[in-house]
Amino acid sequence: MPISFDSERKIFKLDTATSSYIIEIYEQNYLIHLYYGAKIPDTNLKNHKFLMNWFGSVSPQNINIEDRRFSPDVCTFEYPCEGTGDFRSSAFSIRNADGNNATDLRYVSHKIYPGKPRIDGLPSLHVNTDSDADTLEILTEDAVTGIRAILYYTVFNNYGAMTRFVKVINASDRPADIERVFSSCVDFNTNEFDMITLYGDWLKERTFERAPLGRKKQGVSSKRGSSSHAQNPFGAIVGRNTTEENGDAYGFNLVYSGNFEFSAEVDAHGASRVLMGINPDAFGWHLEPGEEFSSPETVMVYSSDGLGGMSRIFHRLYTNHLIRGKWAHIKRPLLINNWEATGMDFTGDKLVTFAERAKEIGIDMLVMDDGWFGKRDDDTSSLGDWQVNEEKLGGPLKDFIARINALGIKFGIWYEPEMVSHDSNLYREHPDWCIHVPGREKSIARQQYVLDWSRKEVRDYIYEMMKKVIGENKIDYVKWDYNRCITEAGSPALPPERQKEVFHRFILGTYEIMDRLTVDFPDLLLENCSSGGGRFDPGTLYFSPQIWCSDNTDPIDRIDIQFGTSLCYPASVMGAHVSASTRAGFETKGNVALWGTFGYELDPNTFTPDDIELIKEQVSEYHKYYDLIRSGDLYRLISPWENDRRVAWMFVSEDKEEALLTSVVMRKPHDNAFFLRLRGLDPEKYYVDDTSGEVYSGALLMNAGISLTNYSNNDGDSFKIYFHTL
């Protein structure tokens, strides 16, 4: 069984395809974490909870436990609480009606069952049938306050993955306030780890960073109201010697698009505590008697096959159990977006010429970006006024779309639903509908404010305008943008004791509208964007099967971004287009964009005959390699964090019948010799190099490697090689 309970030893054992996770009910019903790592058959771990032979005089003792090795401050807790003897970072804290935050959750009961529960109001991984996963619920309670917390663990039976979340219930007759509610905590009895995180900025999202765990607290977080460009809600804890293909790798990813924290604290004894969940800064949740609160879900992946093994588990898991709807497993349209070509300076006639050229080269869809509504000719006005500018389009939107469709081209449109311009009819009519603190100056960014989506009337107003435009017109695709962070996080609609709920309520509101949109329009392809990749997270992927990876479309810069993104997220979700950037030619732009969803950000009226022939070839390759890239396994052969001059990656089909190798020169190497050992092939099979016609065994390609010395080594050069079996 994937989940078992030894009633004699009082031990839970959760087995994924690659790992075991073990919890003990200790004396006085303490929940103790014993192990997380490579799969083991037994549970003889009774001494793993103790970090020392006896606790010091400064460590508190439970008066009812005689074992001198146990202290709340020096044991490996499953879900540590605040103020009752554990001085490390806590996972959970409640401010009770008496004003203190002493919290002590103990085991009460448990349930084990097939399948996986949903989380009210929040995205989460899903199962296709109950046989896909098994779930453990552990009910805990603070005997003094009556606060209960149900700890949920779901094991995905075909993957090295499990998920965790927490439901808090105020079972008392007095109100209480949640101060901290992390979705997961893992105590390791060592600090022989490195932490890997993805930092960034606008145009530089998800950049790889690796650092050893020191005897301190370290990690990443966001309190911007979104998961953010600056940090991503992904982190990994890996062995000091872990490489791309060897060693322990523990990956953590939060299914959430708001403020988060991923942190590790190493104590004086060299033990490590890893936490992931909602950032407790500027967070709180008021619970009246009988009320509940559910945390977002943490996805936890373990692999003994290094970073590559960890990534491939995430990719398959998300492809099959996170991304939903019509577009989860069918081919998506190849699109061209007008933004980089025209900005907001376009007319309906101009975009029709884009569609005419797009049809000639095999593109499926035209996306009309920002500027089609209100008086929107620049970024200073009209957000919130979602009425079509018929003067700009030369008539009703329906007639304009009919002209596009008549060419055999689908049509998509841009929205930024969560925002309102200072210069807009909506703001003039409802200045209190934006997030703000009454009496305090409102910060402005990009000449816009953030709408208060904690308020139902605000959400309904915006959605009804969207629904009217989308419902009355043949729109196949929506690009959902989000272009500023949240400041002055207050809502006049909430009482004082609930003001710390604004950030989380805002995200819940966003999820509600995305859900309504995908339910009302199930055939719609939704792509999320946040000034590029500022909200690139699993919470967003639950609603949209692809996210614009970055506003930086330079192919050399994109290499860092896409390599970092691939640590956790599959190729099928990475919005990547060929643009007018100048540091590389069309071939390299196409080779890099082919890794992602693929498309174009260009004015097709500027294409030369040579450009057209090359683009037609790229379109053909997009269709040829579509299934291989989106359902194959990714191998990062040379990463930019290992080599600042040349990178290489490959996709291998699940049946190992075909593979696509791509390499890019970022800066001219010091020498031209280039021998590359491939990965992921079948050593017993023979593969044809589609470029040269040479035949190699999989064993040769992976062990001796392939000579690529004759390929060009100039800045910005690239090549790809397709292999297939005989």
Active site residues: 481, 551
Dihedral angle computed from the Cα positions of residues 403, 407, 409 and 415, in that order, rounded to the nearest 10 degrees: -20
Q: Is 586 exposed, middle or buried, given 0-12, 13-18 or 19+ CB atoms closer than 10 A?
A: middle
Identify the CA nearest to 148 among candidates 29, 319, 248, 292: 292
Distance CA 62, CA 67 (A): 10
The tokens for 550 are 């970055």
With the C-alpha atoms ordered 452, 455, 460, 463, is the resulting torsion angle positive or negative?
positive
| DSSP strands (E only) in 354-454 | 365-368, 410-415, 419-421, 448-450
Residue 634 CA: distances (Å) to CA of 263, 564, 568, 648? 27, 13, 11, 11
Q: What is the DSSP letter of 130?
A: G
Place of tokens 């080594």: 713
Spatial contact of 135 and 112, defined as CB atoms under 8 Å apart: yes
In one-letter notation, the amino acid at residue 647 is V
Identify the CA nearest to 367 among candidates 409, 323, 335, 328: 335
The tokens for 402 are 């009919």
Distance CA 31, CA 682 (A): 45
Rg over alpha carbons for the chain, rounded to the nearest Å, is 27
Q: What are phi and psi of 488, to 5 degrees?
A: 45, 60
Residues in the chain: 726
The tokens for 401 are 């779309």
First to last CA, the chain: 41
* Angle at 324 (CA atoms; ends 17, 546), nearest 5 degrees: 100
Spatial contact of 650 and 678, defined as CB atoms under 8 Å apart: yes
Q: What are phi and psi of 630, to 5 degrees?
A: -85, -20
φ/ψ region of 352 (left if φ > 0, alpha if ψ in -120 to 50, else beta) reads alpha
Distance CA 160, CA 175 (A): 40
The tokens for 453 are 């989506």
Show Cβ contacts of residue 219 under 8 Å, excluding neighbours closer than 6 positions. Answer: 195, 197, 235, 261, 262, 263, 264, 275
Secondary element (H or E) of residue 689:
strand 686-689
The tokens for 249 are 């790798």
Q: What is the DSSP letter of 359?
A: H
In one-letter notation, the amino acid at residue 509 is G
Residue 724 CA: distances (Å) to CA of 168, 591, 616, 626, 695? 53, 19, 23, 15, 10
Distance CA 168, CA 161 (A): 24
3-state helix, strand, coil in the chain (%, to 5): 25, 30, 45
Place of tokens 């004003």: 99
* Number of other CB atoms surrounding residue 384 within 10 Å: 29
